Amino acid sequence: MKKELTLALNYALNKGFQIHPDAFKILEDVDVKKLEKIIKEIVREKTRQKLFQINQDDLETYLGIKDDLSLQNEIKIISDPTNKITSGEGVKGYNALFSSRFNKLKRIISDRPESKMLKSAASLKNTKIEDDLYVCGLVSVRNSERNITKIVLEDPSGSFEGIIFDEELQKTAGTLLLDQFVMARIGSAKNSGYIIKDLILPDIPEQAKNKSESEAYAVFLSDLHVGSKYFMEEEFSDFVSWISSPDPVAKKIRFVLIGGDVVDGVGIYPNQNKELVCQTIQEQLKKAEDLIDKIPKNVKIIIMPGNHDPGRRALPQPAIPEKYNSGLWERENVFMVGNPAVVSLNGVKVSMFHGQSIDDIVKTTPGLSYDRPTDVMRHLLRARHLSPIYGSQTPIAPEMEDLMVIQDIPDIFHVGHVHRAQLDMYKGILLINSGSWQKQTPFQASVGMTPNPGIAILVNLKTFQVFHQNYSSNLDNVLQT
């Protein structure tokens, strides 16, 4: 026993006190410099009350680590694709998907005054127009040649082609993603055809944040990759153990959100088996379950799949099916959702998306890169769509309804996938890329991707103050803001 602890205990014993073994356990973890003061104050207070035993409750109250029952943990699943997935067939399916996308986004943009002057593509039929008008649609062509940019937009009536001369506007046009919805202000060109004079995105209106009444904290995690050789098991295990420690911050945690790539999966990339320590999905999920099980039961846990998890690869993804791990589904404090999903935590709206589309977007958009995932997240919010580009690397299923449109405006936007923990703000929305718990893989090293793994991001849902816990021993491995 430490000398300071012996001294403190003797002080209490000499005053006629008994010390309960549970209280003793807490004292062992207390900073030795504070021991004397703590014991003296508790002894004074309890002598006044004429109660001569020091128990766990006294210490927890004194240290402010008592379970605070006023901290709410109310969770509502606002949207989850799991039971909505229908997958239309072939071409018919894709027509339905794109017309759903168009209609949803046109409804969003119709809040703007300009939309009163919207014309359909077919109604223009290359006629001369006197005053500026507006058209909207999904971008099907975007190309630049000899200092001119050509854009083609598709709406349900047909297609509209316009050209852009203005240099600044051409730059804006260069950041448009294929199949993204946009509204254009147009005028007639001198000879024939149309000039695009402005491009208007659905975007997010500035809005007031929803707040939790109590200071409950939420933890944002993603990309654990349990089962991979590179999964940082020790660090992750330390982190989940910390959640149940007497640390005053940990004591306030009421939610843990996991944004996909819970496990590394099997057969996801060639020769993956050589980089796995668990060779089956079941084994991997069991290990994830055992780790998650260390989280106290008053903490609600939301689990979303990513491209490495079982279910289906195409977006939107259903929740990780129960057949691979019934234990997680059976736990009362665990909520299995699909990708993407919107949840409410004590009234704070969180939009969760694994982030598969980031790969396609950074490849085709000037100014965006893997190093700054929150810039890509801002791009998605402005497009009001989580995965606009169709037919590239990210598989998208031909759903009858486009479930990737950002209909609800969140207070927090939580994404993962690119393994870089980063924070930012956009129009009052807290942007979190929750990084990963997997060390750099040989593939990532070969393409120059530098993850910053082992960082847990925590948010106070009342004040939106952000904290983080860094479990990496590498000093360069820091949270990006």
For binding to Fe ion (CB under 5 A), which residues are involved? 223, 261
* DSSP H or E stretch at residue 393: none
- Would you tell me how many other CB atoms lie within 10 Å of the CB of residue 443? 10
By DSSP bridging, strand 300-304 and strand 334-336 are parallel
Contact in structure between 169 and 196 (CB atoms under 8 Å): yes
* 58 or 261: CB nearest Fe ion: 261
Instruction: List the single partner that 418 binds among Fe ion, ligand D5M, Zn ion, none, CB under 5 to 8 Å by kind.
Output: ligand D5M
The span of 72-80, 265-273, 301-309, 326-334 binding Zn ion (CB under 5 A) equals 301-309
* 202 or 306: CB nearest Zn ion: 306
Contact in structure between 333 and 280 (CB atoms under 8 Å): no
- Would you tell me how many other CB atoms lie within 10 Å of the CB of residue 421? 30
Build a one-symbol-per-residue string for 239-268: x at contacts with ligand D5M by CB under 6 A, - elsewhere: ----------------------x-------
443 binds ligand D5M (CB under 6 A): yes
Residue 420 Cβ vs Zn ion, minimum distance, rounded to whole Å: 12
- HSE at residue 55, side-chain half, CA atoms within 13 A, is 4
The span of 106-114, 329-337, 342-350, 417-425 binding ligand D5M (CB under 6 A) equals 417-425
Question: From CA 137, how far away is CA 109, in angstroms rounded?
Answer: 11
Question: From CA 481, how far away is CA 478, in angstroms rounded?
Answer: 9
Question: From CA 363, how far away is CA 348, in angstroms rounded?
Answer: 33
Choose, by CB under 6 A, the member of 149, 419, 434, 455 that binds ligand D5M.
419
- Cα-Cα-Cα-Cα dihedral sign, residues 449, 373, 138, 135: negative
Residue 225 Cβ vs ligand D5M, minimum distance, rounded to whole Å: 7
Choose, by CB under 6 A, the member of 4, 166, 359, 371 that binds ligand D5M.
359
* 354 or 372: CB nearest Fe ion: 354
Residue 352 Cβ vs Zn ion, minimum distance, rounded to whole Å: 13
The span of 32-40, 259-267, 309-317, 453-461 binding Zn ion (CB under 5 A) equals 259-267
418 binds ligand D5M (CB under 6 A): yes
DSSP 8-state class, residue 270: T
Choose, by CB under 6 A, the member of 234, 269, 326, 463 that binds ligand D5M.
269
* 162 or 454: CB nearest Fe ion: 454
Choose, by CB under 6 A, the member of 82, 180, 307, 325 that binds ligand D5M.
307
- Written as six digits, the tokens of 56 are 């766990």
- Cα-Cα-Cα-Cα dihedral sign, residues 352, 356, 358, 360: negative
Q: What angle, 0 to 180 degrees and rounded to 10, lies between the N-to-C axes of helices 233-243 and 281-292?
A: 40
Question: From CA 279, how far away is CA 276, in angstroms rounded?
Answer: 6
306 binds Zn ion (CB under 5 A): yes
261 binds Zn ion (CB under 5 A): yes
420 binds Zn ion (CB under 5 A): no
Choose, by CB under 5 A, the member of 286, 417, 420, 439 that binds Zn ion.
417
- With a CB cutoff of 8 Å and minimum separation 6, the contacts of 351 are 340, 341, 342, 406, 408, 410, 412, 413, 414
- Written as six digits, the tokens of 53 are 């035993």
The span of 6-14, 46-54, 247-255, 415-423 binding ligand D5M (CB under 6 A) equals 415-423
Binding site for Zn ion (CB under 5 A): 261, 306-307, 417
Binding site for ligand D5M (CB under 6 A): 223, 261, 269, 307-308, 359, 417-419, 443-444, 449
